[in-house]
Amino acid sequence: MGDIAIRVEGLSKRYCIGKIERYQTLRDTIVSTLVAPFGKVGRLLGGQKADAAQLDDTIWALKDIFFEISRGEVIGIIGGNGAGKSTLLKILSRITEPTRGFAEIHGRVASLLEVGTGFHPELTGRENIYLNGAILGMKQAEIEKKFDEIVAFSEVEKFIDTAVKHYSSGMYLKLAFAVAAHLEPEILLVDEVLAVGDVRFQKKCLGRMGAVAKQGRTVIFVSHNMGAITQLCERVLLLEAGGLKRIGPSTEVVADYLGSSLGTEVKSAWSNPSLEVNHSKVRFRSARLLSVDGQPLSLVTFNESIVIEVVYDVTASLSNLSIAFHVFDSMNNCVFESMDTDLPEWRECVRDPGRYLATAKIPSHFLRPGRYSLSFFALIQSVKVFERQEGILRFDVSELEYGLTRQRMGIVSPVLEWKVVQVGGNDQSTGSL
C-alpha cells in the first residue's frame, strides 16, 4: 500500500433530481426513518411499485468505479459532458460523500475544481494566498517560503493588494492555480478550469503540472483538451454515463474516445455501408486518416503530417476522372481543395475498371489548431459528379507544439522555407544594390 496514492473501490454517487444535497442531522435521520414506511404504503395504494418514485427522481452520476493510482503518477480523466468526471474529483477532494463504496487517499490533497475556490472576495490577493494555503493545510512558514514564487507565477503582482472581487475570471484562475500548484501538495486535482485562461497561461500551467509530477507528486487532470492529456498523462480513465469504460495508456484511450460517439464527432475511418446496387461508374469504398507510418489517427500536433487514404471502384473506362477532397474547418470554411489530377500523369489518362487506392499527404506546419472535416468527390470537372461523401472524416490539430502566435492571420499557418542573407553592412557609403 506504500506505493498507492489513491485506491477507489465500488465508488458510486446517486443524486436526487431537483433536490439540493445536504447532510442530515440526527433529527432528520429519525424522522425520515419513521416516515419512509408510510410513503411506501401510499405508493402501493396508488398503484406504484415501492421504489418507482425514487427511481424516477434519482440519477447515478458514478456507478461501481474501481481503480488505483500510484504515487508520482499523472492520470488523466476524460469523457463526455455528464460522464461523472467532476463528481469523481469532488469525492476525491472530500467535497461530497459517495453513496456507496470508498476512496482511500494517502497524502495531502490540493484541489483546483472551480475558479477562485476558497477565496474571499473582500480580501486582497495577498490575504487570499494565506487563507487558501491555510485551507489546504499549510503552515504559515510554508506559505511565506513560497509566497514570492506564487505571486510571480500568477502574474498579478500589480494587483496583489487589491480585493479579489475586482479581479477578472482569468486573474482569479491564475492566482488560484498558483496557490494550489506551489504549496507542495502530495496529490494535485485539477479540473477543466484551465480552459478559462489564455493559451499562453494554459501552457504555463501544463508545464507546472509536469514539474509537479517530476517531483514525485501525484496529479489527476480532467480536461477536454486531448492534446494536453496525451502530452501530460501516462494513463487515462475514460468515463461514460457514470461508469469506467476503459483505463490504459493515454494515446490508446484517447484514440478510443475520439473514435467513439461520445459527442466529439471525430471519426478517422469510414467505409461505405450501402449494399445497394450502385449504377454510378465510380463508387467510394473507404477512407482513412493515417500517420506517415500508416497508423490510424484522429489527433495530430502542428508538427505532424497527415496521410489521407481513399479506396474507390471504377466500373467503366473513364477519361479525365478526378478524385478530390475538401478540408473544412469548424466554421465550415473550405480551407483547401486537392485532387489527384494535380499530378500531370493522371490529368488526361483513361482509368480502366477496377479498384484503386490513392493517398495524399497534408504536410506538417500547415493547419492551425482546431477541428477539421473532409469531404470526398469523384468527378469530371465541369461535366459530372459521379459520387460525393461529405464530412465523413474528422480530426483535431492540437494546440500543443503550435509555436506561432495566435494572432497570426489566415485559415492556415504554413511555415515556409525562408532564406535570409545579409547583403550589406551598416556603412552605406559604398553605394546601394
Which sequence spans correspond to the domains of the chain? 4-259, 269-397
Helices 169-182 and 140-154: crossing angle, nearest 10°? 140
CATH superfamily ID and name for 4-259: P-loop containing nucleotide triphosphate hydrolases (3.40.50.300)
pTM for the complete prediction? 0.56
Supply the DSSP string of 129-197, one letter for each residue: HHHHHHHTT--HHHHHHHHHHHHHHHT-GGGTTSBGGGS-HHHHHHHHHHHHHHS--SEEEE-GGGGGS
pLDDT in tens, 179-202: 877 777 788 888 765 555 555 676
DSSP letter assigned to residue 204: H
pLDDT classification of 74: cutoffs 50, 70, 90 = confident
Phi, psi of 334, rounded to the nearest 5 degrees: -75, 110
pLDDT in tens, 291-342: 999 888 888 888 899 999 999 999 999 888 999 999 988 767 889 999 999 9
Show Cβ contacts of residue 319 under 8 Å, excluding neighbours closer than 6 positions.
348, 349, 350, 351, 380
What value does the mean pLDDT take over residues 198-226? 74
Using DSSP's 3-state secondary structure scheme, residue 223 falls into coil
Angle at 255 between CA 250 and CA 259, to 5 degrees: 150
Say yes or no to pLDDT of 45 above 80. Answer: no
Least confident of 77-86, 268-277, 368-377: 268-277
CATH superfamily ID and name for 269-397: abc- transporter (atp binding component) like domain (2.70.50.60)
Q: Does the fold of domain 269-397 match that of domain 4-259?
A: no
Cα-trace Rg, the chain? 29
Residue with cell 401510499: 42
CA distance 238 to 236: 6
Name the residue with higher pLDDT: 360 or 280: 360
CA distance 410 to 329: 12
